[in-house]
């Protein structure tokens, strides 16, 4: 992992990865690295939480390991499981050889060769030569029981496997947890982390992001689209568009060789920006045309 001199240095490195980070985000990340503490990122969907983890991994020159959370996520998908098919085959081979020593067979069957390492175990694998960036994405989608399992990992950077014992990280990973706040995450988990709220960006920051991510877009188009999206966020929408949708909309219009935003192009591509039928129906026709005319 490349050493970081300061928060400003980190901000510059993120910019090299086309991620526009303000001072608050850079300071939180810098402290997470220096203090070896997990960083808990919370904010609306599409504001750049996941892409920040990818950008910091690239900026540090290390591997990004991602665990996508969902309801029902358990140890076998998050931490490890045994390759039972290979174990059974190995047991048959040992049995065919005759005179199987039970203790020796158990040691052979429950070794590293038969262990399938999932993201959490990969991140703290003592065989790693350098620390990784571990992204635990959308932790609010996982069950509360899974949060409890994370406490040992985030406190001691170790995992207990009954058949092997305790596995402890030789190089602590930089852990980034994200949440879209679909439910409250338990305080016990948050206490182990540094916290950073990521809000929708200002117009100036968002247009800077768009220019970084879609450099071939015309400045006029980028400005018009960003203005429309900023105004849409003030409306009562079922699903408010995030920064990622702004980028996608500009990229789509650029792919259609548009250098400015007009009502016809907006109607044709509105599904790139809005992802709910109710929102599209509410904005189609005169409403969208009027919004663009004001821009």
* Structure confidence at residue 98 (pLDDT): 67
Predicted confidence band of residue 144 (pLDDT cuts 50, 70, 90): confident
* Structure confidence at residue 62 (pLDDT): 95
* pLDDT of 171 higher than 80: yes
Judge contact between 158 and 167, C-beta under 8 A.
yes
* Residue-averaged pLDDT of the chain: 91
* Structure confidence at residue 99 (pLDDT): 60
Predicted confidence band of residue 54 (pLDDT cuts 50, 70, 90): very high
Q: How far is CA 121 from CA 6, 68, 78, 155, 278, in A?
A: 30, 14, 8, 15, 42
The rounded distance, in Å, linking the Cα atoms of 43 and 180 is 5
Mean pLDDT in residue range 176-200: 93
Judge contact between 221 and 252, C-beta under 8 A.
no
Q: What percent of the chain has pLDDT over 90?
A: 69
* Structure confidence at residue 214 (pLDDT): 96
Q: How far is CA 222 from CA 204, 215, 254, in A?
A: 11, 10, 10
State the fold for domain 7-71+119-198.
Answer: Rossmann fold (3.40.50)
Six-digit token string for 150: 């994370």
* pLDDT of 163 higher than 90: no
Predicted confidence band of residue 110 (pLDDT cuts 50, 70, 90): confident
pLDDT: which is higher, 114 or 31? 31
Predicted confidence band of residue 1 (pLDDT cuts 50, 70, 90): low
The rounded distance, in Å, linking the Cα atoms of 250 and 219 is 10
* Structure confidence at residue 175 (pLDDT): 97
* Structure confidence at residue 116 (pLDDT): 92
H helices within 191-239, ranges in order?
203-213, 219-232
Domain boundaries, the chain: 7-71+119-198, 81-112, 203-294
Give me the DSSP letters along 69-103.
--TT--HHHHTEEE-HHHHHHHHHHHHHHS---HH
Unique residue bearing structure tokens 């039972």 = 84
Mean pLDDT in residue range 39-64: 95
Q: Dump pLDDT digits (tens) for 58-101.
A: 999 999 999 999 999 988 899 999 988 888 888 787 777 666 66
Mean pLDDT in residue range 108-119: 86
**H helix count then E strand count, the chain:** 15, 9
Q: How far is CA 240 from CA 34, 257, 267, in A?
A: 35, 26, 17
* pLDDT of 156 higher than 70: yes
């Amino acid at each position: 992992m490349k050493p970081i001199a300061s928060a400003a240095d980190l901000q510059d490195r993120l910019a090299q990865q086309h991620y526009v980070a303000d001072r608050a985000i850079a300071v939180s990340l810098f402290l997470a690295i220096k203090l070896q503490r997990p960083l808990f990122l919370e904010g609306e969907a599409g504001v750049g939480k996941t892409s920040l983890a990818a950008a910091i991994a690239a900026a540090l020159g290390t591997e990004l390991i991602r665990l996508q959370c969902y309801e029902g996520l358990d140890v076998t998908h998050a931490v490890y499981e045994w390759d039972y098919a290979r174990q059974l085959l190995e047991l048959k081979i040992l049995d065919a050889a005759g005179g199987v020593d039970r203790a020796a067979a158990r040691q052979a069957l429950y070794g590293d060769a038969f262990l399938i390492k999932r993201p959490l175990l990969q991140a703290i694998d003592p065989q790693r030569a350098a620390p990784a960036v571990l992204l635990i994405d959308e932790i609010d989608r996982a069950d509360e029981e899974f949060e409890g399992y994370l406490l040992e990992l985030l406190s001691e950077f170790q995992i207990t496997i009954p058949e092997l014992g305790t596995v402890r990280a030789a190089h602590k990973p930089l852990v980034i947890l994200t949440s879209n706040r679909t439910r409250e995450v338990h305080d016990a988990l948050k206490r182990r982390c540094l916290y950073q709220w990521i809000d929708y960006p200002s117009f100036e920051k968002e247009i800077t992001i768009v220019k970084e991510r879609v450099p071939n877009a015309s400045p006029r188009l980028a400005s018009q689209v960003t203005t429309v999206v900023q105004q849409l966020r003030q409306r009562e929408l079922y699903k408010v568009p995030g920064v990622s949708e702004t980028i996608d909309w500009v990229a789509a219009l650029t792919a259609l060789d548009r250098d400015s935003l007009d009502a016809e192009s907006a109607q044709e591509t509105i599904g790139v920006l809005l992802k709910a039928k109710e929102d599209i129906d509410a904005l189609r026709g005169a409403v969208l045309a009027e919004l663009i005319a004001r821009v």
